[in-house]
Amino acid sequence: MTDSTFALFDQWGPEKIVVVSDRKTGMRGVLVIDNTARGTGKGGTRMSPSLTVQEVARLARTMTWKWAAVDLFHGGAKAGILGDPADPNKEAILRAFARTLSNEVPSEYVFGLDMGLTEEDAAIFLDELGDRGASTGLPRALGGLPYDQLGVTGYGVAEAAEAAAQNRGISLQGARVSIQGFGAVGQAAATRLSELGAVVVAVSTAGGAVHDPNGLDIPKLVDLRAATGDACVRHYGAVLPADAALHVDADVLIPAAREDTIDDVVAASTNAKLIVEGANLPTSPTSRRILHQRGITVVPDFIANAGGIVAAAHSMAARYSPFVVDPEDIFTMISAKLRANTAAVLDESRRAGLTPHEAAYGLAEQRVLEAMKLRLQVPRTATETIDVLV
């Protein structure tokens, strides 16, 4: 491994980095199991032509905090495949990836859905390994809970947004919302926020952004997204640059695309009162500090977008049961858990004079460290704060 890879290790983890390849298909991938003190490693699996080991490690660490913050007993992990999700040889690549990780899946890690993978891909993992426990996000016909179709993560983002607005004395009724990223998370968040009375004024995809200060027709955009993908914004109307969604006049900004999208420049210029992180790692420590100093509330990613893992946990608990999980029960659980966590983190942030991320990290770290001590993975007398990779 390179020196930069060794630099990823600290007292929290990772516990294991498995880099795999397959000569026949050209598959190259990686699994990072970050910290399993609280349970089996669980996190999404992504496919991207720009994937790096460092990227997967950062996301695995976020999963460690996410599971601890929602107080569900799984550990942080993430997997990824270096490649184009549109590759015509995708099935063979996924099967090769599953086979090379058969020692770890499902005993140490469970596949899930992330960028570039679909419910049909989860079915391939199941078929290749012959175990329903190999993956979450399975199609309904295989007894799974189809996260993208149900929109559980985006639904949770919207619930967290309303909880944060109430906590900060902001009315969501009529509030203008801009959403960067209109994939599964962005679409579901836009739909739920519209139901809660907010006005979605801008959305973006890789193909550009659309903006209407009077509000966008979200059902129309959802239909166009299903038919035309990222080109939905072009079919909807006049198209702005993709980053325009970060700069339009809005009360609530939801980054729901990729990591590292809200830099110091955006943090210093946005006029949003509330930022709800639908994507993982969209802000940096410096941009968070700028936002905090400007009085702009930020709901951390592993608090706001945890709806998917709440659903995943209950799906995993029922994976060997003949009964299908009721989606209505899942939505109720997501709403209760994420609203309570959002309020708790923002209250602690205000009480202690911390950024919301610092307050959330403190909560998650305490739970993980307690489990590590009980399992004799650290000295029982350890009280020092362990640095977090962000």
What are the average pLDDT values for consecutive 10-residue runs of the chain, which has 390 residues? 80 97 98 97 96 96 95 96 97 98 96 92 96 89 78 96 96 97 96 98 96 97 96 94 96 95 97 96 95 97 93 71 66 94 96 95 95 86 46
Domain regions of the chain by residue span: 3-146, 152-304
pLDDT of the residue at 140: 83
pTM, entire model: 0.86
| Three-point CA angle 92, 97, 101, nearest 5° | 145
- HSE-up of 81 (CA within 13 Å, CB side)? 33
Share of the chain residues as helix, strand and coil, in percent rounded to the nearest 5:
45, 15, 35
Pick one of 3.50.50.60, 3.40.50.2000, 1.10.3210.10, 3.40.50.10860 as the CATH number of 3-146.
Answer: 3.40.50.10860
pLDDT of the residue at 149: 78
> Which CATH fold topology does 152-304 show?
Rossmann fold (3.40.50)
pLDDT of the residue at 390: 39
pLDDT of the residue at 382: 47
Helix (H) or strand (E) holding 16: strand 16-22
**Token pair in block for residue 64:** 């460690």
Question: Active site residue: 78, 90, 273, 337, which one?
Answer: 78
Nearby residues of 89 by Cβ (< 8 Å), 6 or more positions away = 25, 26
Is residue 277 within 8 A of residue 305, CB to CB? The reply is yes
pLDDT of the residue at 264: 97
* Strand 252-255 relative to strand 176-180, pairing: parallel
Three-state secondary-structure class, residue 22: strand
| Distances 1 to 19, 32, 33, 107, 238 between C-alpha atoms, Å | 10, 14, 16, 25, 48
78 is catalytic: yes
Fold agreement (3-146, 152-304): yes
In angstroms, how far apart are the furthest CA atoms of the chain? 61
